Amino acid sequence: MFFICQKRGNKLNNDDRRISIQPLMIAYSLQAVAFLLITINIVEQFAKYKLNYHHDRLLALFDLSLEMNIPTFYTVLLLLFASLLLLLITLLQARQRNKYVTKWAVLSLGFLYMAYDDGFQVHEDLVGVIRPHLWDGNLGPFYYAWVIPALVLVIILSLFFRKFIRHLPSVTKKTFLLAAACYLGGCVGFEMIGGYYHESHGGFNSLTYNLISSVEEGMEMTGVILFIYALLEYLATGWEKISIQFASALPKQ
More confident residue, 199 or 172: 172
Structural domain total, the chain: 1
Q: pLDDT class for 107, splitting at 50, 70, 90?
A: very high
Q: What is the pLDDT of residue 11?
A: 53
Q: Is the pLDDT of residue 5 over 80?
A: no
d(CA 158, CA 7): 45
Instruction: Answer yes or no: is 250 within a domain.
Output: no
Instruction: Answer yes or no: is 249 within a domain.
Output: no
d(CA 87, CA 101): 10
More confident residue, 163 or 66: 163
Task: Specify whether the CB–CB gap between 66 and 45 falls below 8 A.
Answer: no
206-212: long-range pairs with CB below 8 Å, 24+: 206/49, 207/45, 207/46, 207/48, 207/49, 207/50, 209/65, 210/41, 210/45, 210/49, 210/63, 210/64, 210/65, 211/42, 211/45
End-to-end CA distance of the chain: 33
Q: Is the pLDDT of residue 6 over 50?
A: no
Q: What is the gyration radius of the CA atoms in the chain, in angstroms?
A: 21
Domain with 32, as residue range(s), is 2-243
Q: pLDDT class for 2, splitting at 50, 70, 90?
A: very low
Classify strands 241-243 and 2-4 as parallel, antiparallel or unpaired. parallel
Q: Is the pLDDT of residue 73 over 70?
A: yes
Please classify residue 172 by burial: count the beta carbons closer than 10 Å to its beta carbon, then call 0-12 exposed, 13-18 middle and 19+ buried: middle
Percent of the chain residues topping a pLDDT of 70: 87
Instruction: Answer yes or no: is 252 within a domain.
Output: no
Q: pLDDT class for 212, splitting at 50, 70, 90?
A: very high
**CA angle at 81 for the pair 108 and 116, rounded to the nearest 5°:** 65
Cβ neighbours around 178 below 10 Å, total = 15
Q: Is the pLDDT of residue 68 over 70?
A: yes
Q: pLDDT class for 121, splitting at 50, 70, 90?
A: confident
Task: Specify whether the CB–CB gap between 23 and 232 falls below 8 A.
Answer: yes
pTM of the model as a whole? 0.88
Instruction: Answer yes or no: is 248 within a domain.
Output: no
More confident residue, 253 or 131: 131
Least confident range from 55-59, 185-189, 210-214: namely 55-59
Q: Is the pLDDT of residue 46 over 70?
A: yes
Instruction: Answer yes or no: is 214 within a domain.
Output: yes
Instruction: Answer yes or no: is 36 within a domain.
Output: yes
Q: Is the pLDDT of residue 3 over 60?
A: no
* Each residue's pLDDT tens digit, 7-36: 444 554 555 556 677 899 999 999 999 999
Q: Is the pLDDT of residue 207 over 50?
A: yes
